[in-house]
A and B are shown apart, each in its own frame.
Chain A
């Protein structure tokens, strides 16, 4: 005996009477639903337009990472290309005969520590002057700023040195033991090598001294 009921498609009287009843209209807003449908469609289109953005950004970042990794691997294979030179002490410069000697313009006292040709030739790490940047060329201090700090001052380079003030330059000239017109001062005269670093020290000491009224403070 089958318990499966037969699905009769022929409606009886009650079904027909019930079907004729119309459910009461409720509060479903057809206009609002149509508006939401249009809005949703626009949002979906916008989202599909932006879909390529993140994959493209991811691909670009992967390419950049691969490029950097490749360069790094290349530097490991050929270390000479990426080696950096660290010179704590500037190498002595073998002066070429045609270069002007800055000491000659200042006069050289006996206890000066300025390099002499004899001292320079006795330096084991002497480097030919042609392999080092020339610091006496106009504008060379911009190209090689760290090569200049221990270079003896060239007082004939007045337009550039004037920026640190004539007073500091005069002190440096006196410390070097040079002649010329000295300003009257009560400070003891110490004869030492006048370099660009020493000139900057004098300038900063002068500008930062209490009551000096300098430009720095």
Chain B
């Protein structure tokens, strides 16, 4: 992979990947950086680097979540994440804090489908490969996630 391609990948996917890993672990930047390092170390570059990165980040974040759970159970306390996941939105857009809160409250499977689709720009086939499901299941989870977000944000369905 040449430096331009790598720089473009970092520019485009680093923040969405952090958002994707944030609801699983406390240190998403570390996980994302590790995924990029693994991508650099590959002798043969993956066919779809973005999908490959999302899959690696997902696995690493889940592993980190397991270790954090063990540590928290051992230490007997929980670390709360209160920071917003999004930059403050100007104008009449969605409130970043409300969007963060709504995303935190929906199902994990629906949330990862929504984030991978909206901010990662992955196709439903790629989301299905990443989660080990079919593209139909990925699409259904995405729609379910949107419905849950609508409910949480107090928005009416477009089709109603």
Contact = CB atoms under 8 A, between A and B. Distances in A.
Interface of A: 3-5, 7, 12-15, 17-30, 32-34, 36-38, 40, 44
Contact of A26 (B15, B139, B155): B15
B47 interface: no
**4 tightest A-B CB contacts, nearest first:** A27-B29, A23-B19, A26-B18, A23-B15
Contacts of A19: 118-119
Nearest to B96: A21
Interface stretch (B61-69, B72-80, B82-90): B82-90
30 contacts: A5-B139, A5-B140, A5-B143, A13-B155, A14-B146, A15-B118, A15-B146, A17-B93, A17-B94, A18-B99, A18-B149, A20-B89, A23-B19, A23-B119, A24-B19, A24-B85, A25-B15, A25-B87, A26-B15, A26-B29, A28-B10, A28-B33, A28-B36, A30-B11, A33-B33, A33-B37, A36-B40, A37-B1, A40-B41, A44-B43
A38 B4 CA distance: 12
Interface residues of B, number: 46
A143 B39 CA distance: 71
A20 B119 CA distance: 9
A124 to B, nearest CB: 79
B138 to A, nearest CB: 10
Nearest to A6: B139
A22 B153 CA distance: 18
Given A17-B94, A28-B10, A22 B3 contact: no
Interface string B1-41: 10100110011001110110000000011101100110011
Interface string B125-151: 000000000011001100100100110
A33 B10 CA distance: 9
Contacts of A15: 118, 146
Contacts of A12: 146, 158
A26 B28 contact: yes
B85 A13 contact: no
B124 interface: yes
